[in-house]
Amino acid sequence: MTTGGRAVAAALAAHGVELVWGIPGTHNLELYAGLRAAGIRHVSPRHEQGGAFAADGYARATGRVGVCITTSGPAVLNAATALAQAYSDSIPVLLVAPGMPLHHPGLGNGELHETKDLGAAMGGIVAASHRVASVEEIPLAVAQAFARMSSGRPRPMHLEIPLDLLVAEGEADAVAPVFSPPLVADPAALDAAAALLARAERPLVLAGGGAVGAAAELRRVAELLGAPVVCSINGKGTLDEHHPLSMGASYGRAVVAELAADADAVLVVGSELAPSDLWLGPLAFGGPVARIDVDPVAIVTNVLPEVAVVGDAALALAGLGVRLGSVAAAGGEARAGRWRAAFHAGAAQDAERWSELLAAIDDAVGEHGVVAADSAMVCYFGAAAALRSRRPRSFLYPTGFGTLGYALPAAIGAQLGRPGDRVLALAGDGGVLFSIAELAAAAQERLALPVVVVDNSGYGEIRNEMRERGDTPLGVDFPGLDFAALGRAFNCHGETVTSPDDIRAALERAFAADRPTVLHVPE
């Protein structure tokens, strides 16, 4: 016999969960007792949105499921924005939270944390929101959630445990994790994709977040084809950006549109080709398109391919590699080199304002490091293309949903998931305030985390857009804050860096420190 709360914790542990982010409340005390009993490490964010962003950062940096635990009602809704972000970027995050009692009146009776229809709200946000109906069901529901998150297109889940079931006793037989092997593509589809690409003289490869587990296979196919590779921001680093065939990351550049038009065949791997990746509008391809995607729905979305290969990216690319032979195409690097030069020139121009800062970050973070970025200009105009990532899972960015406040908590999650690697948060003065309380969490965990705040005294991008429309800016200018002092108030170090010459030394101090450091960079 066990209790619902203990059954949840035991089931999480049985699925390899070692670390959760959570905030306790009256309704989830038995779950907290279970976490302790199961030996699961608990980290305290200071807001549930920060907890779920941290779980997302952990998932992106490690490839494992990130888990967040909250109490019911407002706590779940606080986490909802982060789960919506995880949904749009296909990140496996599990939220476990109590809900109203099993036999709660459908129209409500004013219970603490009662929400009109929380399941409906969350069902509109995550891949599935499931409410268990008995203690016995709990191990099964956890196994089902993990099965769903570790097969096909990974996406967040919400598991609701009626609050009376958390304390109820029952039998909860363990359910072993379901092993779901990667989806093997149809050989005929792979033949067709190989034929389409082998005919090409000017092939192009686009790789998105769905390719991050297929770095070696992607590189092999690119080399065999002699094809330039452009990664989306979520796919950044999947082909080492120092490789001669790598263009770098982000599709929203004029040179990518030119490259697409010039190509006589295009291979798209694990990429939505979403409007949020294509700021300059849809790409017009000069030749037929083959798409590889684990999601048969995504494969026909935005761009209808001539050849659709539904399957795991690594396996499909390996199959394509076998079909393309063993001799690298001649001339690919020379052709790619011209596009590469144009890509980097454009990126350098857009990032010019932050060039010294970004070069210093690139060097300080190093080959194995991670940059967690916010929806700030320094990130999407700057870091996304100007940093030269060597590996996937090294640039974490809230692409599709585009929320603010992501960088700091995601960096905390990444750092706890990869304690041996350098992790840095990069944000604007506007976005960082959305989740600034997480400095307290980072300080409590004693993370040597630099939090770089690029300060233009307001919502700079929106201010620019208002001006471009000829409007007088409204709601976008803020009096300056002393972010270094703010950092110190949160038990972090704090430094204001006014000269570019000081940035490198400040970053080294931050990575060697016994706590996080807020690096305030006024523009």
Ligand X SMILES: Cc1ncc(C[n+]2csc(CCOP(=O)(O)OP(=O)(O)O)c2C)c(N)n1
The site for ligand X (CB under 6 A) is made up of 374-378, 402-404, 428-431, 456, 459-462
How many angstroms from the chain centroid is the CA of residue 148?
A: 18
- The CB-of-426 to ligand X minimum distance in angstroms stands at 10
Using the rule CB under 5 A, which residue among 398, 405, 430, 487 binds Mg ion? Answer: 430
Q: How far apart are CA 461 and CA 458, in angstroms?
A: 9
Q: How far apart are CA 474 and CA 6, in angstroms?
A: 51
For 97, the enclosing helix (H) or strand (E) is strand 93-99
Nearer to ligand X among residue 229 and residue 378 (C-beta):
378
What is the DSSP secondary structure assignment for residue 471, as one 8-state letter? P
Nearer to ligand X among residue 2 and residue 375 (C-beta):
375
Specify burial of residue 193 (Cβ count, 10 A radius: 0-12, 13-18, 19+).
buried
Q: Which residue has the tokens 């041996």?
A: 420
Phi, psi of 99 (to 5 degrees): -130, -175
462 binds, among ligand X, Mg ion, none (CB under 5 to 8 A by kind): ligand X
**Tokens, residue 96:** 């476990």
**Tokens, residue 336:** 């790619």
Nearer to Mg ion among residue 145 and residue 358 (C-beta):
358
Would you say the C-alpha torsion 344, 346, 347, 351 has a positive or negative sign?
positive
Would you say the C-alpha torsion 330, 333, 339, 341 has a positive or negative sign?
negative
Using the rule CB under 5 A, which residue among 72, 246, 456, 517 binds Mg ion? Answer: 456
Nearer to ligand X among residue 168 and residue 377 (C-beta):
377
Q: Is 162 near Mg ion (CB under 5 A)?
A: no
Q: How far apart are CA 68 and CA 431, in angstroms?
A: 22
- The CB-of-163 to ligand X minimum distance in angstroms stands at 30
Nearer to ligand X among residue 145 and residue 436 (C-beta):
436
- The CB-of-383 to ligand X minimum distance in angstroms stands at 11
377 binds, among ligand X, Mg ion, none (CB under 5 to 8 A by kind): ligand X
> With contact defined as beta carbons under 8 Å apart, do 239 and 388 qualify?
no
Name, in order, each residue with C-beta under 8 angstroms of 485's C-beta and a sequence gap of 6 or more: 494
312 binds, among ligand X, Mg ion, none (CB under 5 to 8 A by kind): none
Nearer to ligand X among residue 72 and residue 456 (C-beta):
456
66 binds, among Mg ion, ligand X, none (CB under 5 to 8 A by kind): none
- The CB-of-156 to ligand X minimum distance in angstroms stands at 17
Give a three-class secondary structure readout of 106-122.
CCCCCCCCCCCCHHHHH
Amino acid at 245: L
Nearer to ligand X among residue 85 and residue 238 (C-beta):
85
231 binds, among ligand X, Mg ion, none (CB under 5 to 8 A by kind): none
Q: How far apart are CA 138 and CA 185, in angstroms?
A: 34
- The CB-of-455 to Mg ion minimum distance in angstroms stands at 6
For 57, the enclosing helix (H) or strand (E) is helix 48-62
461 binds, among Mg ion, ligand X, none (CB under 5 to 8 A by kind): ligand X
By CB under 5 A, the count of residues binding Mg ion is 5
- The CB-of-61 to ligand X minimum distance in angstroms stands at 22
- The CB-of-121 to ligand X minimum distance in angstroms stands at 17
Give a three-class secondary structure readout of 175-199.
CCCCCCCCCCCCHHHHHHHHHHHHC
- Please give the torsion angle defined by the CA atoms of residues 261, 265, 267 and 273, in that order, rounded to the nearest 10 degrees: 30
- The CB-of-392 to ligand X minimum distance in angstroms stands at 25
Q: Is 237 near Mg ion (CB under 5 A)?
A: no
Longest dimension (CA), the chain: 73
Nearer to Mg ion among residue 223 and residue 429 (C-beta):
429
Residues 168-207 close enough to bind Mg ion by CB under 5 A: none
Q: Is 405 near Mg ion (CB under 5 A)?
A: no
Nearer to ligand X among residue 134 and residue 276 (C-beta):
276
Q: Is 270 near Mg ion (CB under 5 A)?
A: no
396 binds, among Mg ion, ligand X, none (CB under 5 to 8 A by kind): none
Q: How many CB atoms lie within 10 A of CB 173?
A: 9
Using the rule CB under 5 A, which residue among 428, 450, 487, 494 binds Mg ion? Answer: 428
Q: Tell me, residue by residue from 460 to 489, as one string, x for binding to Mg ion by CB under 5 A and - for no binding.
A: x-----------------------------
245 binds, among Mg ion, ligand X, none (CB under 5 to 8 A by kind): none
Q: Which residue has the tokens 């030394």?
A: 505
Q: Can you give the binding site for Mg ion, defined by CB under 5 A?
A: 428-430, 456, 460
